[in-house]
Amino acid sequence: MADTVQGTPYCVKCKAKTAPMTLTVEVNEKTQRRSGKGTCPTCGTKVNLILGKA
């Protein structure tokens, strides 16, 4: 079961913040950090939003 979060990630390819969107939350096992992952609606590149500790 994947958690979701609302956020405004930064797209490196477009060099701009994207519109607020729903992101899938993944936890890094090594550092226990959460990150939201999604797709840029403008160019289709993967975008990330770093969240707090798990």
- Full pLDDT tens readout for the chain, 54 residues: 468 888 888 888 988 888 888 999 999 889 889 999 999 988 999 998 888 776
Sheet containing strand 10-11, edge to edge, reads: 4-7, 21-27, 33-39, 46-53, 10-11, 16-17
Sketch out the chain's domains with CATH numbers. Answer: 4-53 (2.20.25)
pLDDT recorded at residue 54: 63
CA 31, CA 26: separation in Å to the nearest integer?
A: 12
Instruction: Answer yes or no: pTM beyond 0.75.
Output: no
The pLDDT value recorded for residue 2 is 62
